Amino acid sequence: MKRARITGIGKYVPENVVTNFDLEKIMDTSDTWIRERTGIAQRHWVTNPAVETVSTLGAEAAKRALDMAGLQPSDIDFIIFATLSPEHFFPGGGVFLQEKLGLEGIGALDIRNQCTGFIYGLSVADQFIRSGMYKNILLVGAEVHSTGIDKTTRGRDVAVLFGDGAGAAVISATDEKDCGILTTHLHADGKHAKHLWLQNPGSAQSPFVNEQMIADNSIYPYMNGRYVFKYAVTRFPEVIMEALQATGYSKNDVKLVIPHQANQRITEAVQQKLELPTEKVYSNIHNYGNTTAASIPIAMTDALQEGRFGENDLLVLAAFGSGFTWASAILRW
């Protein structure tokens, strides 16, 4: 049976950097509050949303991943696009990305799994490659949060957390054994959905979008921060242990855990619960904030460039987010 391995990885973030001090000028917050509660120092926010869309950011990240893989766009058989912030309600970002890369005709699958979107996508890619259906799959996670958050004091609990950006991976078939994606684990529990969600606009309302939604602020994301935190610090270690048990590897075999970058305090709590040394758990949230579906491929790209892992190293990926959904993967690089 074929195995799937990541042969290229890349990221792209908008040039515009927004520091915590910049946020102090537009809402009642402080650099100290944000750093202490989240570890975030800055994030990237688009300046021209008509041009800097999830598919344009995603296409740039994809080109870099393709370069690393040594492939042309025409080598790609299938696209998987993960985002919670598509440029339009439909069609999803996958077809816009496809057009930008000139990949007319191949399938483009959109997935809506928020912070776990990249790992869900990785699992889908793994199954397609193991079954022999595709040889090279492009998986993109991209978000433009900055146009959809309330950037006033009213929305500060959410607004300070999120950043824009994209990450991409090329996933290719290989005949080698014990390499590439070894295992993936996907979970969800919809009873928690309304603790982290965007209620409106949506087809549960008629008309789909109306003035009342704007007046009652339900066009902005709602987050029950403490509730999310409580579940995140339980589900992350659980799903990491599930993946380790499935492969028979121990924590000592792992070179680096790359968690979804939700919050530095969540990452530290996970590291402590699993009794892992700090250097085994990657963090770059200070530079980007939470970029949801893009955070793991951005973190993988940075960690690779920083020399935090290399050939044959065992990596653990894990994520938790809106849904709630949570997921993990183990791969040998």
Residues known to be catalytic? 115, 260, 290
Among 57, 257, 262, 300, binds ligand COA (CB under 6 A): 262
Q: Which stretch binds ligand COA (CB under 6 A): 95-103, 128-136, 137-145, 225-233?
A: 225-233
Q: What binding mask, one character per residue, do residues 52-91 give for ligand COA by CB under 6 A, x or -?
A: ----------------------------------------
Nearer to ligand COA (CB atom), residue 64 or residue 260: 260
Does residue 266 bind ligand COA (CB under 6 A)?
Answer: yes
User: At residue 167, what are phi and psi to the nearest 5 degrees?
Assistant: -135, 150
Q: Which stretch binds ligand COA (CB under 6 A): 44-52, 156-164, 166-174, 276-284?
A: 156-164
Residues in contact with 204: Cβ distance below 8 Å, sequence separation at least 6, in sequence order: none
Stretch that binds ligand COA, among 3-11, 30-38, 59-67, 101-109 (CB under 6 A): 30-38
CA distance 216 to 262: 27
Q: How far is the CB of 252 from ligand COA (least distance, A)?
A: 28
CB 100, min distance to ligand COA, A: 28
What interhelical angle do 264-273 and 31-38 show, nearest 10? 30
**Beta strands across the sheet bearing 3-12:** 3-12, 165-174, 136-143, 78-82, 107-111
The one among 156, 195, 235, 308 contacting ligand COA by CB under 6 A: 156
102-121: contacts with ligand COA (CB under 6 A): 115
- Residue 4 or 258: the one with the smaller Cβ distance to ligand COA is 258
| Window of 7-15, 93-101, 222-230, 267-275 that interacts with ligand COA by CB under 6 A | 222-230
Examine residue 38 and tell whether it contacts ligand COA (CB under 6 A).
yes
Nearer to ligand COA, 101 or 266 (CB): 266
252 three-class SS: helix
CB of 239 to ligand COA, least distance (A): 14
**CB-CB neighbours of 24 under 10 Å:** 14
Q: Among residues 20, 83, 123, 290, which is the contact residue for ligand COA, using CB under 6 A?
A: 290
**Residue 5: strand pairing partners:** 172
Q: Concatenated DSSP letters for 147-207?
A: TSS--SGGGHHHHTTB--EEEEEEEEEE--SS-EEEEEEEEE-GGGGGGEE---SSTTSSS
Question: In whole angstroms, what is the distance from residue 99 CA to residue 75 CA?
Answer: 15
The answer for residues whose C-beta is within 8 angstroms of residue 21's C-beta and 6 or more apart is 31
Q: Which of 42, 56, 200, 263 binds ligand COA (CB under 6 A)?
A: 263
Query: Before 237, cis peptide (omega within 30)?
Result: no
Structure tokens at 97: 């990305």
- Non-local CB neighbours of 2 within 8 Å, separated by 6+ positions: 129, 130, 132, 173, 174, 175
Using rule CB under 6 A, residue 228 touches ligand COA: yes
Q: Which residues bind ligand COA (CB under 6 A)?
A: 29, 33, 37-38, 115, 156-157, 160, 223, 225-226, 228-229, 262-263, 266, 290, 321
